Chain A
Amino acid sequence: MADAAPIVSIRSLTKVYRQGDINVTALNNLSLDIAAGEFLALMGPSGSGKSTLLHIIAGVDRPTNGQCRVQGIDVAKLSESDLADWRNQNVGFVFQSFNLIPVLTAFENVELPLLLTKLGGRQRKKQVRTALELVGLADRSHHLPRQLSGGQEQRVAIARALVTDPALIVADEPTGNLDANSANEALGILQALTTSAGKTVILVTHDPKAAAFGSRTVHLEKGELVV
């Protein structure tokens, strides 16, 4: 695995935000490689730039300078439309606040990303069921988010992140709103995805216990990697 080309290759990445008259440097000349199948934990204090880095890798933000290649593609150079397609095919998102659509059932939430594919209804249903079984919630598929516990909601979110079979799963503080047991469940699923399914998981966290599930931990401080 160490010799294979990294799935994510970052070179001299810089991100500067303009806030009024002030420029805020969120990332400063950062370089990093992430191997395929790795479970990388990004740690750092608040404002260290870890979420910004995650967003750039996931294609929801663009760098000010530098390069971020995912599976060989410089995502910053894609048009908005192509970037949306690319995200749908290659990235699964897990958020701290779960971000499930409240009016859709668990099944429908997981199905959402598949609506943008060529798959027919039957195939979509099969993939959704598979994803829900993977997270152990096949029997709750017709429940609305408000009828699920926090841990169950996050598992549905993980299922949604998996359903398009992306190579990369990004999780931004996914256990921030969970109790210890639910957090362990969710992190366990993410870990299993890297060891058994070959997914690459990038986890942003400030919790060392969560970071311990990763195969590697990287620390950021003031937009730079701390060696």
Chain B
Amino acid sequence: MPGRLALRLVKSIVPPFRHPHNALRADRPVTIATFIAKNALRNKRRAALCVLSVAVSLFLLVTLLVTLREFTIPPEDIGAAARIVVRNRISLANPLPYRQRAVIEKIPGVEAVSPFSWFGGKYRNEEFTAFAQFAMDPKLLRPIFGEAKMGEGQFEAFERDRTACILGKLTADKYGLKLGDKMVLESTIYPCTIELKIAGIYSGTIDDRNVLFHHDYLDEASGLKGTVGTWWVKARSLDEVAPVVTAINEAFKNTSCEVRAETERAFQLSFVSMLGNIQVLIGSICTVVVFSLVLVAASTMSMAIRERMRELAVLKALGFRQRELFAFILAESFGLAMFGAALGVGGAWFLFEPAQLMQKITGGLFITFEVTPRIIGTASAVAAGLGIVASIAPAAGVAKMSVVQGLKTLD
């Protein structure tokens, strides 16, 4: 008979186990973590969808933050600090007269001056050519752009041949071009098409994409001798940059062609300002992404906890306190959020850094697309905050619930 069997079993265990007096809260063993993990994965489909939504949203957030950073903080070359860009004060589109070169060369602190004109050429009938082409004085390549590295004899070959050009390694690799190959470029600015012979392939600069060729060749091909797009100036030392900038601006003040001289960095950042209030735009999108994510996560957690109200009431009855139940809920919510963050942020880092996905799919529009530690930290903090916020409402519900009410909850 079941009763007698039970009685025999009870009698065989003498004495019964003793419950320790004054039992205090123990250090939490691994079983608590197992309990939390099992609850989190109770509904695998819901957990997977929640994690995926966090991952995708954070991937998007990281992409937006990196894009914003790349637009607003363009990468800087090592030698940029000593370089100065001189352009027409009215507009970058307005040319400068060649005679200005002699004036600039005489300014104290100036080491080298080269014309630097953007060709705006299209290559192979592409809708969008991702590399820029510039005409310059080839003899001043090394003095002004010392960080560019090329193979032996290539600098000399470039200087020797009027129709020669040098090409950035990224573009050479992209199109499979090598030394001696010819490139035909049709300008969208100058009334000409030019054919260039590749005399050198450079690397080591922050932008290994561009084409540089002789300004004399451009003058001849376009028939517009006597004007240049900009002057690029190398100061003798970093201390002399500011005085040189001032001197250049003063030298052409109240002339028929006033100029704006500024450091290369300032020149780069002036392009950023043309993008308008991109920070507000991207910031708004990021805010919407995060807000939507909070709603999804909070809804998911609320649903998950609502299903377990009776179980939580049982845990309360067994002696678990409110703060322990809150810790369970928080740990579950935090865990799902951080797992999603690992996938989303980790995935973004992997795709944009080692795999260089953004450079590939934009055809080299972005020179770099760096997922910085700060951006990783920001996205992770968003995930952590999300995990905490999503647990608040369900935890508050559990706190308000009495054991009796909870036990009456229907499954």
Answer whether A and B are interacting partners: yes
- Minimal Cβ-Cβ distance residue in A for B322: A80
Q: Indicate if the CB atoms of A61 and B403 lie closer than 8 Å.
A: yes
Contacts of B17 in A (CB 8 A): 126-127, 130, 163, 165
Q: Indicate if the CB atoms of A84 and B407 lie closer than 8 Å.
A: no
Q: Indicate if the CB atoms of B402 and A192 lie closer than 8 Å.
A: no
Contacts of B19 in A (CB 8 A): 89, 117, 164-166
Q: Indicate if the CB atoms of B25 and A116 lie closer than 8 Å.
A: yes
Q: Indicate if the CB atoms of A195 and B320 lie closer than 8 Å.
A: no
Contacts of A87 in B (CB 8 A): 317-319
How far does the alpha carbon of A76 sit from the alpha carbon of B337 in the complex, in Å?
40
Q: Indicate if the CB atoms of A196 and B20 lie closer than 8 Å.
A: no
Kindly state whether residue A113 has any CB partner on chain B within 8 Å: yes
Among A61, A97, A134, A188, contact of B3 (Cβ-Cβ < 8 Å): A188
How many interface residues does A have (CB within 8 Å)?
Answer: 53
Kindly state whether residue B222 has any CB partner on chain A within 8 Å: no
Given A60-B403, A134-B13, A136-B5, are A119 and B20 also a contact pair (CB < 8 Å)?
yes
Among B9, B310, B311, B317, contact of A134 (Cβ-Cβ < 8 Å): B9
Q: Which of B2, B4, B23, B32 has the most CB of A within 10 A?
A: B2
Contacts of A61 in B (CB 8 A): 402-404
Given A99-B311, A192-B6, are A88 and B39 also a contact pair (CB < 8 Å)?
no
- Minimal Cβ-Cβ distance residue in A for B19: A165
B411 shortest CB reach to chain A, Å: 8
Q: Indicate if the CB atoms of A116 and B3 lie closer than 8 Å.
A: no
Contacts of A197 in B (CB 8 A): 10, 16
Q: Is the interface of A mostly helix, strand, loop or mixed?
A: helix
Which residues 226-248 in B have Cβ within 8 Å of A in the complex?
A: none
Cβ contacts A58-75/B at 8 Å (1 or 0 each): 101100000000000000
Given A95-B314, A95-B407, A116-B320, are A104 and B13 also a contact pair (CB < 8 Å)?
no
Kindly state whether residue A153 has any CB partner on chain B within 8 Å: no
Among B3, B25, B26, contact of A192 (Cβ-Cβ < 8 Å): B3
- Contact count A vs B, C-beta below 8 Å: 136
Contacts of B125 in A (CB 8 A): none
Given A136-B5, A184-B2, A184-B3, are A115 and B26 also a contact pair (CB < 8 Å)?
yes
Q: Indicate if the CB atoms of A193 and B319 lie closer than 8 Å.
A: no
Q: Indicate if the CB atoms of B11 and A118 lie closer than 8 Å.
A: no
B21 shortest CB reach to chain A, Å: 9
Kindly state whether residue A38 has any CB partner on chain B within 8 Å: no
A97 shortest CB reach to chain B, Å: 8
Contacts of B13 in A (CB 8 A): 130, 133-134
Q: Which of B34, B315, B319 has the most CB of A within 10 A?
A: B319
Kindly state whether residue B225 has any CB partner on chain A within 8 Å: no
Kindly state whether residue B1 has any CB partner on chain A within 8 Å: yes
Kindly state whether residue B24 has any CB partner on chain A within 8 Å: yes
Given A95-B407, A184-B3, are A118 and B24 also a contact pair (CB < 8 Å)?
yes
**B interface list, Cβ under 8 A from A:** 1-7, 9-11, 13, 16-20, 23-26, 28-29, 31-32, 34-35, 38-39, 41-42, 310-311, 314-322, 402-404, 407
Question: Could you name 8 residue pairs across A and B whose Cβ atoms are closer than 8 Å?
Answer: A61-B403, A81-B321, A112-B35, A112-B318, A115-B32, A130-B13, A134-B9, A189-B6
A-B pairs, 10 with minimum CB distance: A88-B319, A188-B3, A60-B403, A185-B2, A196-B10, A165-B19, A103-B38, A192-B6, A192-B7, A189-B6
